[in-house]
């Protein structure tokens, strides 16, 4: 039964708050940490610990819509949770009740918020709490609430020592999990912890050079550390050239290269152009052609601009047909640039 609920949670989780779509059900390992059958407080009605509380029924009104056919355990747990919320009772049993609610619906942000209120009130052991949230994370790693909860704990503890290792671990099962990268990025910035980040992205790119999240993180790391100096752009571009050589159709690498190019620190286009022309002579990479258009547009010579127009035509009609309208628009922009010169 629990497994089915976890499955439903994993498939449905992407629908939560619309921007994170469900990916295929991640094969996250089930841990032993769930509210164990013998540790649950349910049924509350016969639990002496809760005899003083009158449960508060959900007020959906007389003709409810989007009515969920809750299990008894879910209903009753929520009834007691509502009662505790109304009392604003921040006690040990309230904390445990939050665990129950989170176990039933890990997206219940009210329960997470109240949990934090209890933790503060009770001056709880936050290191233990971090263990708790880590366990749940391994089951439902795409949940906004638990990552934010983790962030608060790390902030309160003022201790990031577990974070880089933990995020790296979660990334092993899903190297592009947005929440994980977001958390790691936050840790880097909040604690000014950048050592090893560049190497970290490199190791991920060695595993999969098409990992766009790793490229993005690399960009952020450079921006916050050395910045895009001439030397950095040179070494970064060498790094990317190698990756492109291994996989010339890898858009992530080309986007990163363009990102370097666009910092404008690097005024010599020659090396970038030489490399790109080289790639094109070997493979008809759409991204190489696209980047060449950018380089040529930057040069502003009529001959370059005309060549760019030809490439756009070729892309729209043959190599990148799906984007024909986009390439026609770019062509228009270039022609306007020619007219203006």
Catalytic residue IDs: 142
Q: Which stretch binds another protein (CB under 8 A): 32-40, 147-155, 194-202, 233-241?
A: 147-155
Q: Which stretch binds another protein (CB under 8 A): 38-46, 121-129, 264-272, 332-340?
A: 332-340
Q: Are 160 and 143 in contact (CB under 8 A)?
A: no
Nearest to 95 by CA among 162, 52, 144, 49: 49
Sites for another protein among residues 62-91 (CB under 8 A): 62-71, 74, 78, 82, 85
Sites for another protein among residues 159-188 (CB under 8 A): 175-176, 178, 181-182, 185-186
Please give the angle made by the CA atoms of 60, 63 and 65, to the nearest 5 degrees: 70
Instruction: Confirm or reject binding of residue 23 to another protein (CB under 8 A).
Output: yes
Q: Omega into 90 within 30° of 0, i.e. cis?
A: no
Nearest to 175 by CA among 222, 221, 217: 217
Question: Alpha carbon 97 to chain centroid distance?
Answer: 29
Site string for another protein, 301-330 (x = CB under 8 A): -------------------xxxxxxx--x-
Site string for another protein, 35-64 (x = CB under 8 A): ---------------------x-xxxxxxx
Instruction: Confirm or reject binding of residue 189 to another protein (CB under 8 A).
Output: yes
Given phi > 0 = left and psi -120 to 50 = alpha, else beta, which region is 64? beta
Distance CA 311, CA 290 (A): 8
Q: Are 335 and 309 in contact (CB under 8 A)?
A: yes
Compare residues 48 and 290 and give the one whose CB is closer to another protein.
290
Compare residues 53 and 78 and give the one whose CB is closer to another protein.
78
Sites for another protein among residues 252-281 (CB under 8 A): 252, 255-256, 258-259, 262
Compare residues 130 and 217 and give the one whose CB is closer to another protein.
217
């Amino acid at each position: 039964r629990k497994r089915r609920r976890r499955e439903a949670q994993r498939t449905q989780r992407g629908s939560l708050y619309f921007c994170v779509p469900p990916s295929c059900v991640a094969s996250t390992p089930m841990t032993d940490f769930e509210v164990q059958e013998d540790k649950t407080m349910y049924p509350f009605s016969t639990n002496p610990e809760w005899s003083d509380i009158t449960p508060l029924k959900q007020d959906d009104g007389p003709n409810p819509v989007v009515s969920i056919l809750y299990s008894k355990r879910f209903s009753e747990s929520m009834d007691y949770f509502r009662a505790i919320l109304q009392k604003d009772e921040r006690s040990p049993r309230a904390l445990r009740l939050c665990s129950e609610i989170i176990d039933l619906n890990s997206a219940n942000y009210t329960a997470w918020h109240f949990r934090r209120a209890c933790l503060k009130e009770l001056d709880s052991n936050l290191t233990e709490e971090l263990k708790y949230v880590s366990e749940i994370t391994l089951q439902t790693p795409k949940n906004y609430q638990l990552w934010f909860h983790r962030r608060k704990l790390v902030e309160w503890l003022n201790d990031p020592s577990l974070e880089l290792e933990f995020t790296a671990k979660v990334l092993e099962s899903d190297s592009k999990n947005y929440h994980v990268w977001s958390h790691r990025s936050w840790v880097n910035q909040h604690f000014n912890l950048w050592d090893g980040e560049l190497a970290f992205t490199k190791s991920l790119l060695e595993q999969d050079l098409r990992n766009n999240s790793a490229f993005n993180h690399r960009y952020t790391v450079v921006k916050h550390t050395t910045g895009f100096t001439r030397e950095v752009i040179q070494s970064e571009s060498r790094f990317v050239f190698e990756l492109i050589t291994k996989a010339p159709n890898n858009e992530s690498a080309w986007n990163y290269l363009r990102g370097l190019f666009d910092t404008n620190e690097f005024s010599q286009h020659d090396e970038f152009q030489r490399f790109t022309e080289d790639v094109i002579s070997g493979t008809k990479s759409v991204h190489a052609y696209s980047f060449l258009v950018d380089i040529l547009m930057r040069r502003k010579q009529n001959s370059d601009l005309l060549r760019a127009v030809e490439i756009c035509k070729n892309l729209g009609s043959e190599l990148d047909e799906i984007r024909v309208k986009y390439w026609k628009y770019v062509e228009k922009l270039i022609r306007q640039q020619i007219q203006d010169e």
